[in-house]
Amino acid sequence: MTKQECATQIASILEAKYPTTPIPLDHSDPYTLLVAVLLSAQCTDERVNKVTPFLFERAASPQEMIQLSVEEIRAIIRPCGLSPRKSKAIYDLSHIILDEHAGEVPQSFEALEALPGVGHKTASVVMSQAFGVPAFPVDTHIHRLAYRWKLSTGKNVSKTEADLKRLFPKETWNKLHLQIIFFGREYCPARGHNPYECPICKDFGRKTLFQEWDKK
């Protein structure tokens, strides 16, 4: 079976299991999504969703956010981790959105990635989920699963993103990256994963998965 045939079958499995893909991070507009995605770095979506109601009650727009001090933002978002860096990034990007983008979250990869604390993955999430632009955000989980399913060599996230974009139709990217995340959480976790019971790995998993499991 070719890699393309594997990808096609994997996409069918994901579509059958997750025909709808709600956005995991609670938000009300592009700005609150941008902030939530920034906070999700090295933090679970569940924890972010517990913190953002308190933050957005105080400041749900760049205009309101710059009225807070970096220290006030930091105190609210501390449970998300990396609060010194994240609080400064949120404060600074809010100023830039106001000063350079008329108070609106920019709708280009280049402009988003120029904002403090916003990398390619964060920009991809905002472009795909807020603006509907085809993108394939690859985080560590998708990177891991793409290697586990033999869809990519796993050398780095940039290579994984390019491999996945080449294998899957562009019109499916925005939904597919969420389907992979949902599937990974339910069936294909990093730890305690049984490849013989996984609906995808049992057919497309790497041999090392089964060898490691059989040694237990």
Q: Which helix H or strand E contains 202, and what residues bound it?
A: helix 201-204
CB-side neighbour CA atoms (13 Å) of 209: 24
Tokens of 29: 């507009």
Position of tokens 């999700």?
Answer: 40
Rounded-to-integer distance, Cα 41 and Cα 38, Å: 6
Identify whether 121 is a catalytic site residue: yes
Rounded-to-integer distance, Cα 126 and Cα 131, Å: 7
- Residue of 26, 50, 86, 139 marked catalytic: 139
Answer whether 63's CB lies under 8 Å from 73's CB.
no
Secondary structure in 3-state letters for 82-98 = CHHHHHHHHHHHHHHHH
CA 113 to chain centre: 15
Q: Which helix H or strand E contains 175, and what residues bound it?
A: helix 173-186
- Residue of 121, 165, 175, 202 marked catalytic: 121
Rounded-to-integer distance, Cα 67 and Cα 59, Å: 8
Residues with a known catalytic role? 121, 139
